[in-house]
Amino acid sequence: MDAGRLQAYLVAEFPQAFGPGRPHEIAGVDGEGVVLRLLADDDHLRPGGTVSGPAMMGLADIAAYAVILAAIGPVPLAVTTNFSINFLRRPAPGPLLAEASLIKLGQRLAVCEIALRGEGEEELCAHAVTTYSIPPRAI
Amino acid sequence: MDAGRLQAYLVAEFPQAFGPGRPHEIAGVDGEGVVLRLLADDDHLRPGGTVSGPAMMGLADIAAYAVILAAIGPVPLAVTTNFSINFLRRPAPGPLLAEASLIKLGQRLAVCEIALRGEGEEELCAHAVTTYSIPPRAI
Amino acid sequence: MDAGRLQAYLVAEFPQAFGPGRPHEIAGVDGEGVVLRLLADDDHLRPGGTVSGPAMMGLADIAAYAVILAAIGPVPLAVTTNFSINFLRRPAPGPLLAEASLIKLGQRLAVCEIALRGEGEEELCAHAVTTYSIPPRAI
Amino acid sequence: MDAGRLQAYLVAEFPQAFGPGRPHEIAGVDGEGVVLRLLADDDHLRPGGTVSGPAMMGLADIAAYAVILAAIGPVPLAVTTNFSINFLRRPAPGPLLAEASLIKLGQRLAVCEIALRGEGEEELCAHAVTTYSIPPRAI
């Protein structure tokens, strides 16, 4: 799935997260992975204006789902089985980007790595690794 | 801090998460740990009516913070450095409970374990372990 | 499998780890889980006489395997898919115990928790959570 | 520290792991990170001739330590606080390489990523992330 199809699919499947007035959007898709943008609103902020930990975890989890969709097409039953994140430093206020790439894409499991940083920043603010269980599919 | 003081502190510090019309509340505090309840609303649900992964991660993270507060009093600068969760099965629709307990409470780091289950259920729906960095404090 | 059968099975399957002159042995099995003992030798020690991190990781991984064996019988093809550990404090010199218990035992995955402490100590020196993939089996 | 100095330091500090007749050696150091090689012997093998999980965990842990040494010089008191690994597929028999790189190098914590693969193979057999606590140091 390319960026347009991926965005359309996510708007339909996750109306709370994607679509008009919603904070998440696909920022890019290429052979390396998917970049997801979070336009944080008050619900995602901590005192001080930085994005909260749970908002970063949600962003990373959705980015991982998006990179699986980009690779194998719509799999609505894919579910996270394990998620691990290290918080590295506070991001600057403003949009947050999550770059997700596949470490492994197997028949039953996909393992993804997600790098989070403030838009325009070089250093990571968080780094996550997650495993999705994917349902059997035609080849 | 006992349950009442803990709830009051969290309402003041996390108005997005605690307080009138908000989905989180302290369900119990004892020597073993803290139980936090999530009254999931539409923002926390997946199709099918079960709580989403990111909502469970947020619940677990806040429960860990609450058990640290209960043990050492208000430490507004405590931050999560590592968070790891295994999703075990879908919870039944309805309120979700997170039982947080301390594995280690050191001078600089606290390590917490969090068990998540649907209210009234016996089996866990998720299990998390998280590390908080805690600021230096008087003894 | 009870303690005697478990020990015999592990001596046969893991001769490097179990058996005469080898450092691992089953210390107990009950409805709660399995306790494995490491009689650390020089290969497992760091300067200062405490057990090395990799030796603790190996002990925890084997303890998780043993608790799966105790619950479902011999499954030689079970393999670790994810392993996560927090090191909490240095253990005292001497034997190390790993208490493994099952968080979930499903058809395809088992999730285990492992608490490590020096024999006779109360506080944990490390805490691990691991996922094993288990092959299909008769019911 | 360059490859020669790093190897010499590790031979002196970890005589069980490095040096004549020992299975670990530095395979390369550059601006990106450190590559460590494991010449697996019988102690590291599972039935079938592939490297065991604990041997891979030990390799990854030492590789992370080596990349910290390469970046900041000898810090004998650095200790692992958290280690998380996903096992992706069985490596081919033969030497195993661990490529370690730094995700974050802070004043108190270093977070490292480690990719493990059989020598000459492209796909990863395991992927780990670990946090080291590093002692205060002069600047």
* Segment B58-114, tens digit of pLDDT: 999 999 999 999 999 887 778 999 999 999 998 888 899 999 999 999 988 999 999
Contacts of A88 in chain D (CB under 8 A): 103-104, 106, 111
Nearest to C87 among D47, D57, D80 (CB): D80
With contact defined as beta carbons under 8 Å apart, do D121 and D90 qualify?
Answer: no
Task: Indicate the pLDDT class of residue B42, thresholds 50, 70 and 90.
Answer: low
Contact D84 A89 (CB under 8 A): no
Rounded Cα gap, residues D133 and B105, in angstroms: 16
Contact A82 C109 (CB under 8 A): no
Torsions phi, psi of C43, nearest 5? -65, -20
Contact D131 B84 (CB under 8 A): no
Asked if the model's pLDDT at residue D65 lies above 70, the reply is: yes
Task: Indicate the pLDDT class of residue B136, thresholds 50, 70 and 90.
Answer: confident
**Three-state secondary structure of chain A:** CCHHHHHHHHHHHCCCCECCCCCEEEEEEECCEEEEEECCCHHHECCCCCECHHHHHHHHHHHHHHHHHHHHCCCCCCEEEEEEEEECCCCCCCCEEEEEEEEEECCCEEEEEEEEEECCCCCCCEEEEEEEECCCCCC
For residue A65, count other CB atoms closer than 10 A to its CB. Answer: 25
Torsions phi, psi of C42, nearest 5? -55, -30
Nearest to A124 among D82, D86, D104 (CB): D104
The residue to which tokens 């290429």 are assigned: A30
Shortest Cα distance from A23 to chain B (angstroms)? 13
Contacts of D83 in chain C (CB under 8 A): 53, 57, 83-85, 87
Q: What is the mean pLDDT of chain B?
A: 89
Which sign does the torsion angle of CA A77, C137, C133, D95 carry?
A: negative
Q: Hey, is the C-beta of A84 within 8 angstroms of any chain C C-beta?
A: yes
Q: Hey, is the C-beta of A86 within 8 angstroms of any chain D C-beta?
A: yes
Contacts of B84 in chain D (CB under 8 A): 84
**pLDDT at position D138, please?**
54
Asked if the model's pLDDT at residue D1 lies above 90, the reply is: no
Distances (CA, A) of C121 to B103, C64, C96: 15, 21, 9
Nearest to A53 among B16, B53, B80 (CB): B80
Chains that touch B (3 or more CB pairs under 8 A): A, C, D
Asked if the model's pLDDT at residue C44 lies above 60, the reply is: yes
With contact defined as beta carbons under 8 Å apart, do A100 and A66 qualify?
Answer: yes
Asked if the model's pLDDT at residue D82 lies above 70, the reply is: yes
Nearest to C86 among B89, B127, B129 (CB): B129
Which residues of chain A carry a pLDDT beneath 70?
A: 42-43, 45-49, 137-139
**pLDDT at position D135, please?**
80
Contact A84 D84 (CB under 8 A): yes
**Each residue's pLDDT tens digit, D87-130:** 999 888 889 999 999 999 998 899 999 999 999 999 999 999 99
With contact defined as beta carbons under 8 Å apart, do C75 and C68 qualify?
Answer: yes
**pLDDT at position C19, please?**
85
Shortest Cα distance from B66 to chain D (angstroms)? 22
Rounded Cα gap, residues D39 and D24, in angstroms: 6
Alpha helix segments (H runs only) across chain D: 3-13, 53-72
Asked if the model's pLDDT at residue C105 lies above 90, the reply is: yes
Q: Hey, is the C-beta of A103 within 8 angstroms of any chain D C-beta?
A: yes
Nearest to C124 among B104, B123, B124 (CB): B104
Contact C131 A81 (CB under 8 A): yes
Q: What percent of chain B has pLDDT over 90?
A: 60
**pLDDT at position B2, please?**
87
**What CA dihedral angle connects B50, B46, D86 and D50, to 10 degrees?**
80
**What one-letter code names the amino acid at B16?**
Q
Distances (CA, A) of B41 to A45, B14, B90: 19, 17, 16
**pLDDT at position D47, please?**
62
Contact B129 C124 (CB under 8 A): no
What is the H or E stretch that residue D87 is in?
strand D79-87
Rounded Cα gap, residues B79 and A125, in angstroms: 13
Rounded Cα gap, residues D26 and A11, in angstroms: 49
**Each residue's pLDDT tens digit, C54-71:** 999 999 999 999 999 999
Rounded Cα gap, residues D66 and D59, in angstroms: 10
Contacts of C57 in chain D (CB under 8 A): 54, 57-58, 61, 83
Q: Hey, is the C-beta of A80 within 8 angstroms of any chain C C-beta?
A: no
Q: Using alpha carbons, select from B65, C112, D81, D60 the residue that is nearest to residue A86.
A: D81
**pLDDT at position C35, please?**
97
Q: Which tokens is B85 given?
A: 């969760």
Q: Hey, is the C-beta of D79 within 8 angstroms of any chain B C-beta?
A: no
Contacts of B62 in chain A (CB under 8 A): 54
**pLDDT at position B46, please?**
67
Q: Hey, is the C-beta of C133 within 8 angstroms of any chain B C-beta?
A: no
Contact C109 A84 (CB under 8 A): no
First to last CA, chain B: 16
Widest CA span in chain A: 49
Rounded Cα gap, residues C132 and C111, in angstroms: 6
Contacts of A84 in chain D (CB under 8 A): 84, 129
Predicted TM-score (pTM) of this structure: 0.93
Rounded Cα gap, residues C92 and C118, in angstroms: 6
What are the residues whose beta carbons fall under 8 Å from the beta carbon of D98, sequence distance 6 or more?
Answer: D35, D36, D37, D38, D59, D60, D62, D63, D114, D115, D116
Chains that touch A (3 or more CB pairs under 8 A): B, C, D
Q: Which of D86, D88, D107 to mutate to test the interface with A (most CBs of A within 10 A)?
A: D86
**What one-letter code names the amino acid at B75?**
V
